[in-house]
Amino acid sequence: MSVFTRPRQALVITSALALAFSATACGSDDKKSNRADSPECAAYEQYQGHNGKRVSIFTSIRDVEADLLQDSWDQFVECTGIDIRYDGSGDFEDQLPVRVDGGNAPDIAFIPQPGLLTRFAEAGNLKAASADTKAMAEKNYSADWLKYGTVDGTFYGAPLGSNVKSFVWYSPKMFQEKGWKVPETWDELIQLSDQIAGVGMKPWCAGIESGGATGWPATDWIEDLMLRTQGPEVYDQWTTHDIPFNDSRVVEAVDRAGSILKNEKYVNGGYGGVKSIITTSFQEGGLPIVQDKCALHRQASFYANQWPEGTKVAEDGDIFAFYFPAVDPSKGKPVLGGGEFVVAFADRPEVQAVQTFLASSEHANSRAKLGNWVSANKGLDIANVQNPIDKLSVQILQDEGTVFRFDGSDLMPSAVGAGSFWKEMVAWLNGKSTQAALDAIENSWPK
Amino acid sequence: MDLTDELPKFTILLYGLVAFAAIVGGLLFLLDAVPTWFTRRREARLIAATAAGTATLPPPGSRRWRPNEKLFALFFLLPAMLMLSIGLIVPAIRTTLLSFRDARGETWVGLQNYGWMFSQDEIVDVLVNTFTWVVLVPLVATSMGLLYAVLVDRARFEAIAKSLIFMPMAISFVGASIIWKFVYAYRPEDADQIGLLNQIWVMFDGEPKQWLLNSPLNTLLLIVVMIWTQAGFAMVVLSAAIKAIPADIVEAARLDGVNPWQMFWRITLPSIRPALIVVVVTISIATLKVFDIVRTMTNGNFNTSVIANEMYQQAFTAGQVGQGSALAVFLFLLVIPIVIYQIRNLRKQQEV
């Protein structure tokens, strides 16, 4: 017996429900005009044969940068007919594990943290790169870079964009007026700092406040100095915890950073004393340079976007950067940086074709021409790179003497790399001793 | 913004609304139809029985359809129970289980996470900070709200005066924290101070300070923010309670010749006791859960972290799921006595 005593009412409700759940999927079948035979498509010969296939890409790159990226593979899409579905999210690091665990993994993801890449590889989620992709990556990237896309001997993906962190920002105009010279060794850098301090200006300025990530710019300082005072081998042992975090060599590197960051004579130009570094936001950290209150600011290439509008960022302009000099030049030119890696969760041929294409110099050049782009791709023609600071970055990355190392906090477990390392550097600048801070970080390393 | 890009969202919204209307409509319809059906059946039986001549009414109290009614009630409780278990009970059990597991939630570690909590100096500091918050915020916020409510009661500009205090309630914790971050802002001695507190400090010939860096003063400065937002809430609720005191009691007291002091302690306070308890309990729970203020103003640095912030830090930033869950469970245990007290109070009031 039915509970519905009024059948008509029941009918109305049922039909309303039916309407509610009948999702009409509006499938767009806008066929890309396949112009595979036209002359400009000759370069994409090896990627042909996947017309109409769909490849999804999930990344943390959004807005303008995402548009530029999509423009950069326009021609590839037109020539091969592969339908690339791009999706950028500000929540990428949290969303990707959720999507992978939920069986809804994207075909390709651009992962900026080698630590996260390793986690997916070890869990068996990632597909090893195809032979073509691997060959393309080996042709275009140095072993220093490829190692971060490799887990247990299996190669998973090539780098895409990169940034250089070993930069010191300065004002070429100010330097010219005062007769200062861009230092090329560590000793020259310290001499210059003393010279600037001698004329009554605090030479360095810094800011490490960054909301939930407060402290990260200080960890970059430490990483740069680990690389400079201890060399790349010890640096690798440090990031993998083969040497303890409170090892005497780490203490030495942190103290070396402290000789600038915790030196009341040197910091914090335009903002006050050492402790003002903690409360100054990283975006504002270098701005006193344009107000003539500070001369030097160590920060990555992406700081170029922070200068006030109308500031000319160029070697002959208002602001530019020089390479953060090595302590011992005989050990090569250590460069700290970051970048994202193109890894695949599917091994369909069209996915591998896109992965190979993104590792190619064609793509690097196509993207560079659109502006605001740095890549360690050896096939990237510097003439195609638009901004002076990007040019300098590419020059440094392509330099034969460069010893590249990835940002260490992105390699460490997040309990340290995104936790205690940040926090203890804040405490360190707030007066905690080097040894006490490093002991606390060592304690927090997950066992 | 291109409207066509947003269209899928509106479509989903539309589906959601239609589904919601259908479900609620369906339930309301059932609510109407089912008892009618039961009644009709009973009537039909009665009529049948009467017609057959065996007209004895069922003895009162032995209504045989009663079990059905219970089933019926259960049916209506089902959606709410389902939502509650998905959203509250299951996560609570899962969190408790996770608190006995390791960082990745894979192997059992017994009480290790709880041991960690009480053995790490930083975490003990976190517990002490939370304790300071829970003691100070309800006490100060409620007394200030009460004092203000009594003072402005029947004053000339009562409405305006009350809205001034109530206004901060409308600001989110994050918004309030950003405002107070500016109040505590620091600029070097030779520059113009942009922070109110430092400006006042400098006017009295002090050197500008970085207020938020020094423990334990910084925790107190954060507590001020919470009091600023919560005092308005206390004031509004208590003011309403004061207005609800029967006029004859107040008048009788006046005739007996009480002074304002006696009036407050002997008449006002006992009369608004239930409201006072609600306010204190509500603010206490809000304080235990405080997260936004600490997160926004110091990010838990400089020894200002509280349980909720440390829990988030451990579980989501550091990936220490076990330790984060242990902190969550501890927080849960702290809230429970307050909730029980509140429920018992409510029951007592209902009985009276």
Report DSSP state, residue B104. T
Mean pLDDT across chain A: 87
| Subunit contact A5:B36, Cβ cutoff 8 A | yes
Q: If you search the block for the tokens 């590792």, which residue do you land on? A: A359
pLDDT digits (tens, 9 = 90+) for B238-262: 999 999 999 999 999 999 989 988 9
Q: Within an 8 Å CB–CB cutoff, is residue A200 touching chain B? A: no
Per-residue H/E/C for chain A = CCCCCCHHHHHHHHHHHHHHHCCCCCCCCCCCCCCCCCHHHHHHHHHCCCCCCEEEEEECCCHHHHHHHHHHCHHHHHHHCCEEEEEECCCHHHHHHHHHHCCCCCCEEEECCHHHHHHHHHCCCCECCCHHHHHHHHHHCCHHHHHHHEECCEECCCEEEEEECCEEEECHHHHHHHCCCCCCCHHHHHHHHHHHHHCCCCCECCCCECHHHCCHHHHHHHHHHHHHHHHHHHHHHHHCCCCCCCCHHHHHHHHHHHHHHCCCCCCCCCCCCCCHHHHCECCCCCHHHHHCCCCEEECCHHHHHHCCCCCCECCCCCEEEEECCCCCHHHCEEEEEEEEEEEECCCCHHHHHHHHHHHCHHHHHHHHCCCCCCCCCCCCCHHHCCCHHHHHHHHHHHCCCEEEEECHHHCCCHHHHHHHHHHHHHHHHCCCCHHHHHHHHHHHCCC
Q: Which of A321, A330, A328, A322 is nearest to A228 (CA)?
A: A328
| Subunit contact B317:A426, Cβ cutoff 8 A | no
Name the amino acid, one letter, at A82: I
Q: Which of A168, A172, A198 is nearest to A184 (CA)?
A: A168
Task: Kindly give, in sequence order, each residue whose CB lies less than 8 Å from that of residue A417, ignoring residues fewer than 6 positions away.
Answer: A115, A408, A409, A410, A411
pLDDT at A269 over 90: no
Mutation target for B interface from A8, A11, A17: give the one with most B CBs within 10 A: A17
Q: Within an 8 Å CB–CB cutoff, is residue A241 touching chain B? A: no
pLDDT for res B57? 55
Mean pLDDT across chain B: 87
Out of B187, B208, B317, the one facing A414 most closely (by C-beta) is B317
Task: Kindly give, in sequence order, each residue whose CB lies less than 8 Å from that of residue B213, ignoring residues fewer than 6 positions away.
Answer: A275, A278, A279, A430, B302
pLDDT at A196 over 60: yes
Distance spanning both ends of chain A, measured CA to CA? 64
Tell which A residues from 406 to 445 touch B, by Cβ distance under 8 Å: 413-415, 418-420, 423, 426-427, 430, 440, 444
ipTM surpasses 0.90: no
Judge contact between A347 and A407, C-beta under 8 A. no
Q: Within an 8 Å CB–CB cutoff, is residue A211 touching chain B? A: yes
Taking the C-alpha atoms of residue B67 and residue B63, their distance in angstroms, rounded to an integer, is: 9
| Subunit contact B15:A414, Cβ cutoff 8 A | no
Kindly indicate the confidence band of residue B156, based on its pLDDT and cuts at 50, 70 and 90.
Answer: confident
Out of A16, A271, A272, the one facing B22 most closely (by C-beta) is A16
pLDDT at A20 over 70: no
Kindly indicate the confidence band of residue A1, based on its pLDDT and cuts at 50, 70 and 90.
Answer: very low
Sheet holding A297-298, edge to edge: A297-298, A167-170, A320-323
pLDDT for res B72? 76
Average pLDDT of B255-283? Answer: 91
| Subunit contact A21:B213, Cβ cutoff 8 A | no
pLDDT for res A187? 93
| Subunit contact A272:B103, Cβ cutoff 8 A | no
Measure in Å the smallest separation between the Cα of B17 and chain A Cα atoms: 9
pLDDT digits (tens, 9 = 90+) for A143-179: 989 999 999 999 999 999 999 999 999 999 999 999 9
pLDDT digits (tens, 9 = 90+) for A45-87: 889 889 999 999 999 888 888 999 999 999 999 999 999 999 9
What's the length of chain B?
Answer: 352
C-alpha A112, offset from chain centre? 6
Judge contact between A313 and A307, C-beta under 8 A. yes
Kindly indicate the confidence band of residue A22, based on its pLDDT and cuts at 50, 70 and 90.
Answer: very low
pLDDT digits (tens, 9 = 90+) for A200-229: 899 999 999 887 788 999 999 999 999 999
